Amino acid sequence: MLPDQRFIIHVDMDAFYASVEQRDRPELRGLPLIVGGLGPRGVVSTCSYEARRFGVHSAMPTAQARRLCPDGVYLRPDHARYEEVSERVFEVFHEVTPLVEGLSLDEAFLDVTGSLRLLGSIETIGRRIKDAIWERTQLHASVGMGPNKLLAKLASELSKPNGFHRIEAERAAQELAPLPVGRLWTVGKVTEQALHRLGIRTMGELAASDTARLASALGRQVAALQALARGEDDRRVEPAQAEQSIGAEHTYDVDITELALAEAWLLRHCERIAARARQRGLQGRTVTVKLREPPFVTHTRQAQLRAPSASAIDLYELARGLLNAWWKSQQRPRLRLLGVSLSGFAAERQQDLFDSSAERRVTDQVQDSINSRFGSGSLVRGGVLKTRQQD
């Protein structure tokens, strides 16, 4: 191994949300399943491979997906459940290296250069990750391996679904040459169209083109684009920093015009983020409420708790005051989106036996225990139930 050689793995769960649903509901297996917002403003979060055959894809408006796949099964996402599965997946990553850069709940880069001596070749480590994810979640992951992030990600993409592929530096130019330029991570629609106008459609054509000719159309980014087209990428895997905030929000198909319903959603969000904070052993002091009026006018209101907390009721009481103050200031209050976040974290502190909030902590602990055993959302406070009419 050369002194500066790196070994990077990219892991991407296959159709993550849809796969979790099909795992937990066997009757959905083999069916075109679309997970996302179901109302007129809804967007597809992800879909099963059966649905992709109809042309459905993530980020597509749900209304368009229904036209393409009218007989599909449409479900709202259960983010709390997906987060639980994601935590088990990331546990696998951290068992092979501390250098994990999470891109989303279901995707990450891992630098395993320092793990080779202990765990074996990059293929051995990649297979270990893939097998462990299946054993713990019964879900398939696509694993790509390479000497840099670009090639590792392309390797996983090219081998999906349930993929396992390595692109070595010596073969990079050959494997990349026929791929469309739009597959490069810095090439958006505008740059892709500019390249097409120059007659450049593949990475091989981009790598072999005259730099001066390209510069007149693309400017300073030409050298970087051509390096990527050759498979060169010097980006490092950046391990996740300490969590800065935990939040939850929801966009409504029908604008909220009743304060009581807004308060119910606020409580639901506070329960969710407080549970996540407790799972991580964190307590926060800053509560932020996000309020969006139709069509896209967004307001934020922020306040400090008297002491760091991970109690849903502590968060809710402060957030409710912020919501009410905003609501009263509006002539015709309407909400398209409502969200809450907790920040200003400190490690969970030892509790005073005579602390007046002890009863709230016991309630939270009971709720955590039941939801852990029977699934997220099995036990909620009565004030949350009104929101389930909109699920």
- pTM for this predicted structure: 0.71
From the list 21, 50, 101, 107, the catalytic residue is 107
Q: Look at residues 14, 136, 29, 144 and name the one whose alpha carbon lies nearest to residue 84.
A: 136
Q: Which domains are delineated in the chain?
A: 1-167 (3.30.70.270), 173-229 (1.10.150.20), 245-390 (3.30.1490.100)
Separation CA 88–CA 136 (nearest Å): 7
One pLDDT digit (tens) per residue for the chain, 391 residues: 556 789 999 999 999 999 999 999 999 999 999 999 888 888 999 999 999 999 999 999 999 999 999 999 999 999 889 988 998 999 999 999 999 999 989 999 999 999 999 999 999 999 999 999 999 999 999 999 999 999 999 999 999 999 999 999 999 999 999 999 999 888 888 889 989 999 999 999 999 998 888 887 788 888 889 999 999 999 999 987 666 788 988 888 889 999 999 999 999 999 999 988 888 888 999 999 999 998 888 999 999 999 999 999 999 999 999 999 999 999 999 999 999 999 998 755 545 444 445 555 556 665 555 555 544 454 555 555 555 555 5
14 carries a ligand binding annotation: no
Beta strand pairing call for 346-347 and 282-293: antiparallel
Convert 35-57 into a string of H (helix), E (strand) and C (coil): EECCCCCCEEEEECHHHHCCCCC
Q: Which pair of tokens denotes residue 124?
A: 């051995």
Residue-level pLDDT at 354: 42
Q: Which pair of tokens denotes residue 249?
A: 């929000």
Per the annotation, the verdict on 107 as an active-site residue is yes
Nearby residues of 172 by Cβ (< 8 Å), 6 or more positions away = 146, 151, 230, 231
Separation CA 334–CA 143 (nearest Å): 45
Count of other CB atoms within 10 angstroms of residue 294: 12
Residue-level pLDDT at 352: 45
Residue-level pLDDT at 353: 42
H runs (alpha helix) in 241-355: 259-279, 312-329
What φ, ψ does residue 110 adopt, rounded to 5°? -130, 130
What is the total residue count of the chain? 391
Separation CA 273–CA 146 (nearest Å): 37
12 carries a ligand binding annotation: yes
What percent of the chain is helix, strand and coil (3-state, nearest 5)? 45, 25, 30
Secondary structure element (H or E) that encloses residue 253, with its range: strand 245-256
Beta bridge partners of 144: 10, 165
Chain CA centroid to CA 278, Å = 20
Nearby residues of 204 by Cβ (< 8 Å), 6 or more positions away = 173, 176, 177, 178, 229
Separation CA 225–CA 95 (nearest Å): 35
Q: Which pair of tokens denotes residue 215?
A: 């510069």
Q: Which pair of tokens denotes residue 336?
A: 């398209």
Separation CA 329–CA 331 (nearest Å): 7
Count of other CB atoms within 10 angstroms of residue 212: 8
